[in-house]
Amino acid sequence: MRALTHLDRLEAESIHIMRETVAEAERPVMLYSIGKDSAVMLHLAKKAFAPAPLPFPLLHVDTGWKFRAMYELRDKVAADPDIKLIVHKNSEAERLDINPFDHGARHTDMWKTEGLKQALDAHGFDAAFGGARRDEEKSRAKERIFSFRDRNHRWDPKRQRPELWALYNVMKNKGESVRVFPLSNWTELDVWQYILREKIEIVPLYFADERPVVERDGLTLLVDDERIPLNGEQPQMRRVRFRTLGCYPLTGAVESNACTVEEIVAEMLVTTTSERQGRAIDRDAGAASMEKKKQEGYF
Amino acid sequence: MNAPADVAAWLESHEQKELLRFITCGSVDDGKSTLIGRLLYDSMQIFDDQLATLEADSKRHGTQGEGIDFALLVDGLSAEREQGITIDVAYRFFASEKRKFIVADTPGHEQYTRNMVTGASTADLAVLLVDARKGVLTQTRRHSYLAQLLGIRHFVLAVTKMDLVDFDRAAFDAITADYRVFADQVGISDWIAIPVSGLSGDNIGERSERTSWYSGPTLLEQLDSVPLDANADAQKPFRLPVQWVNRPNHGFRGFAGQIASGTVVRSQDVRVLPSGRTTRIERIVTADGDLDEAVAGQSVTLTFTHEVDCSRGDVIASANAPPEVADQFEAAIVWMDEQEMIPGRGYWLKLGAQIVTATVQHPKYEINVNTLEHLAAPTLHLNSIGVATIATDREITFEPYAVSGGSPNRALGGFILIDKLTNATVAAGMLHFALRRALNIHRQPLEVSRETHATLKGQKPAVLWFTGLSGSGKSTIANIVEKKLVARGRHTFLLDGDNVRHGLNRDLGFTEADRIENMRRVGEVARLMADAGLIVLTAFISPFRAERELVRHMLPEGEFIEIFVDTPLSDAEKRDPKGLYAKARAGEIKNFTGIDSPYEVPENAEIVIDTMKLSAEQAADLIVEELLRRR
């Protein structure tokens, strides 16, 4: 029989992690952000528990500012009768009309960080799968696959549990929770190779197309709806795609002709910009920005 | 390359890559982070914007003046950047044409043995860094030993900073000769020394022109060619630890898990451990369709032709070469917690998907990782390694961790210990062998069951466990309760702390470890008496929550009734019926609960007696009433 490839091994490891979580946690949930990593994670979860349906719901912490194409894919995924999707929006942020144009970093904090905590608390979830990978960002490289959060959802990088072999300690006290990262050992290239191999559906915005854009603070933003203030600017039609997807006013597009996964990979191989650069979020507070957010409870 | 057809071919070849995990060992000064940074850089895993950040960071925090400090690529957390050291395990990824690599980057600092052991637990190979100017150091030997302890079989001695000794062959040869003596002594046979410079990249990705005297492989060539443990695992007998039972409906019952070793084929005879029952594989189920065969490393779901009991924690194994089942072992233990090991205390032990209560005895010896000497030690502290006997409260399925000449049995030989109160992972261990085979000492099946004993006495057994400070009134109340129960025709027995210490436990003192052993024995006696159908009353200070919980778990659900006799310390001290507090205050008695030894207040006691509000008589009435209500 053929030897297992690195993708086979990564897949098997992720499935092992998911099964271990479901066996030991009381109320697991999968964070679903509609991006390509979420798509891969969801695909792996279906594999892990087949022929049974997913033994946990998906949770989308919505900001109301995602790309329209993301909502379309999300609703398509949720139409599967075997999938239960919970959408949570922070009502306080909604009341205060917090938005990325007027509130900057506060937008991410209230909609995403606070919204996530609210949703986890409201449903009593004690384990939440996230699609983060260790190759994305330096502070993630040291985070465990099973990453503990105290009652206030805080991460303490100095008090992480040693993680040996494939033995995960999922024990916790009431009120504490664990974030589980089944894709920890995947790289961006692995994710794309897997999407290609498994024919996983992703948001079309990852592929290049003619789209109306404006330039803001060095980011090329898509004019996805009429909420973007134009101040007399004329959106230009350019051939662009997105390397990551988040809130559309915070996510920059890149010029590209890549219309297939193969072309995206080809572009990556000679690419000049790493994946998270299209995101304003990492730049908020300098080098330690992501680590700080994680300590505060961000995924 | 940009034509899709080329990319498709390229992707096809990259889909076939193998996966090698390795660990780098050495201290900050050996240029370890620089070496990894260089591997990432040479294999094009750094993007332009990261490079720009790197250049900026190099100027701000770097140690290379205006040059690029590759180390900054791998030093992640901001606190560490400020201190200039790496303090945890970080994982890095890069790839060659042939393999994808996962690198565990661990620090060389002495107090961080824990991190190195963590990184080594999943590694096929260890890269040991030796500064060409300093040669083989104590830490080199320590890292070699730890890597070998965790079952790593392939070693690379990377002699770094060769640029600082002008690529001098004699310096390199001297270091190689030095290491050979050590390697022979500890039995490391598969190793190779490579002269490198992380800063200028010599012999890392490309052969250096400045070491024309060196004819061996580059670091990357060695990483590409070393045999993989995964392939060795596939050659062993079949084992699959069951993680999760998949039961979507009555028509399907599958056992999900990742194959630890060997292969499984359809219609194969298998044995389920620890029960030892045999059955046959019906289907190997995956979401992509059934397989005829599956191999070590794959996550699959198995179904049986005829049902036998099988649940999470069981191991499905080759029928004619099953693993052993036992409940007493010798093991090597690496202690990883600030709080030292407490011999006799119950910890959770997790091995595969099995979670049981385990107690560790006093170490047979501790190993000095610098000299490899065996030392006598009463216990194990943070970062110490020892060999000790472990007993589990039920049989577990296991294999010896180390395999002579083969890949280690990580899945069924490696375990962690978890503190029952803090839930911290406090230790990692590797099983050596079973001290007695559980197969030979099968518990005698009792023909008169505990139910029969209880029915005959017309009562339900229970253990009324009185806990509280010395002088709180435990014995007084327990005596009254017993009288009241006897008056109602109940069969009882009272185990009193002082009385037991005069007999069964006369060999025990009052240290923390002895107190724990005291509780364990009392718990066992109480359980036997409950098995005989009695209502047992125990009156012991029993200050530690973990031991009270241990006894609770010995008994069937609901039979352990914890009664907290709650008296403030000041009041107990005022009463001082035996004059003990006075002596403790005077320093004549050591380790006295409440004075210089802690009392851990019960969190979920079934009954709490407030002695400031109730008399002993009232308290006894309340307890009897509660006991009858529970029946």
Q: What is the pLDDT of residue B37?
A: 80
Same domain assignment for residues B92 and B208: yes
Residue B299 domain-assigned? yes
Residues in CB range of B622: below 8 A, 6 or more apart: B607, B609, B614
Identify the weakest region by mean pLDDT among A78-82, B85-89, B321-325, B403-407. Answer: B85-89
The C-alpha atoms of residue B102 and residue A194 are separated, in whole angstroms, by 18
pTM for the structure as a whole: 0.79
State the average pLDDT over residues B504-521.
84
Q: What is the pLDDT of residue B107?
A: 63
Give whole-number Cα distances, B479 to A18, A136, B402, B483, B495, in Å: 53, 66, 54, 6, 10
Domain count, chain B: 4
Point out which residues pair with B300 in neighbouring strands. Answer: B257
Q: What is the pLDDT of residue B77?
A: 45
For residue B114, give how far its alpha carbon lies from the nearest alpha carbon of chain A (Å). Answer: 7
Same domain assignment for residues B355 and B412: yes
Which residue range forms the structural domain that includes residue B73? Answer: 4-229
Look up the CATH number of the domain holding residue B413: 2.40.30.10
Same domain assignment for residues B294 and B156: no
For residues B499-525, b (16+ Cβ closer than 10 Å) or e, as one string? ebbeeebeebeeebbbbbbbbbebbeb
Same domain assignment for residues B209 and B243: no
Tell which residue, A56, A50, A84, has the closest CA to residue B252: A50
Residue B444 domain-assigned? no
Same domain assignment for residues B24 and B74: yes
Identify the weakest region by mean pLDDT among B40-49, B377-386, B480-489. Answer: B40-49
Sign of the torsion angle spanned by Cα atoms B118, B150, B257, B328: negative
**In this predicted model, what pLDDT tens digit does every residue of B418-477 receive, in sequence order?**
998 889 999 999 999 998 655 544 445 567 788 888 888 888 899 999 999 988 999 999
pLDDT band at A17 (very low <50, low <70, confident <90, very high): very high
Q: Name the phi and psi angles at B576, rounded to 5.
A: 35, 60
**In this predicted model, what pLDDT tens digit does every residue of B158-173 receive, in sequence order?**
999 999 999 999 999 9
Residue B330 domain-assigned? yes
Task: Return the higher-pLDDT residue of A237 and B97.
Answer: A237
Residue B294: CB atoms within 10 Å: 25
Classify A41 in phi/psi space as left (phi over 0), alpha (psi -120 to 50) or beta: alpha
Which structural domains are found in chain A, ordered by start? 6-190+288-296 (3.40.50.620), 204-282 (no CATH)
Same domain assignment for residues B218 and B248: no
pLDDT band at B202 (very low <50, low <70, confident <90, very high): very high
Task: Return the higher-pLDDT residue of B245 and B74.
Answer: B245
Same domain assignment for residues B97 and B222: yes
Helix, strand, coil tally for chain A in percent (to 5): 40, 15, 40
The B residues from 247 to 266 touching A (CB cutoff 8 Å) are 247-248, 252, 254, 256-258, 263
Residue B130 domain-assigned? yes
Residue B498 domain-assigned? yes
Residue B445 domain-assigned? no
Give whole-number Cα distances, B37 to A169, B69, B76, B91, B233, in Å: 31, 9, 12, 12, 31
Same domain assignment for residues B98 and B220: yes
Residue B446 domain-assigned? no
**In this predicted model, what pLDDT tens digit does every residue of B553-587 receive, in sequence order?**
888 888 999 999 999 998 888 888 888 898 888 88
- Cβ distance A52 to B247 less than 8 Å, yes or no, reads yes
- Cβ distance B76 to A269 less than 8 Å, yes or no, reads no
Same domain assignment for residues B486 and B603: yes
Q: What is the pLDDT of residue A283?
A: 46
Identify the weakest region by mean pLDDT among A7-21, B380-394, B536-550. Answer: B536-550
Task: Return the higher-pLDDT residue of B13 and B596.
Answer: B596
Give whole-number Cα distances, A295 to A156, A159, B267, in Å: 6, 12, 51
- Last residue within a domain, chosen from B437, B461, B482: B437
Same domain assignment for residues B308 and B362: no
Write out chain B residues lying below 8 Å of A16, CB-based.
243, 257-258, 299
**In this predicted model, what pLDDT tens digit does every residue of A164-211 receive, in sequence order?**
999 999 999 888 899 999 999 999 889 999 999 999 999 999 999 999
The B residues from 40 to 59 touching A (CB cutoff 8 Å) are 47-50, 53, 57
**In this predicted model, what pLDDT tens digit does every residue of B590-604 receive, in sequence order?**
888 888 888 999 988
State the average pLDDT over residues A224-239.
89
Same domain assignment for residues B11 and B119: yes
For residue B45, give how far its alpha carbon lies from the nearest alpha carbon of chain A (Å). Answer: 10
State the average pLDDT over residues A8-22.
97
User: Residue B528 has what DSSP assignment?
Assistant: H
**In this predicted model, what pLDDT tens digit does every residue of B63-102 receive, in sequence order?**
666 566 766 666 544 445 554 444 578 888 888 888 999 9
State the average pLDDT over residues A269-290.
50
> Which residues of B have a catalytic role annotated?
542
State the average pLDDT over residues A129-143.
83
The minimal CB distance from A272 to the residues B48, B100, B336 is found for B48
Whether the pLDDT of residue A36 is over 70: the answer is yes
Percent of chain A scoring above 90 in pLDDT: 58
Q: What is the pLDDT of residue B503?
A: 84
Same domain assignment for residues B341 and B302: no
- Last residue within a domain, chosen from B272, B289, B318: B318
Whether the pLDDT of residue B384 is over 80: the answer is yes
- Last residue within a domain, chosen from B196, B213, B229: B229
The minimal CB distance from B248 to the residues A3, A53, A164 is found for A53
Whether the pLDDT of residue B268 is over 80: the answer is yes
State the average pLDDT over residues A274-288.
48
Whether the pLDDT of residue A287 is over 50: the answer is no
**In this predicted model, what pLDDT tens digit does every residue of B278-311 receive, in sequence order?**
999 999 999 999 999 999 999 999 999 999 999 9
Look up the CATH number of the domain holding residue B90: 3.40.50.300
Write out chain B residues lying below 8 Å of A265, CB-based.
7, 10-11
Residue B443 domain-assigned? no
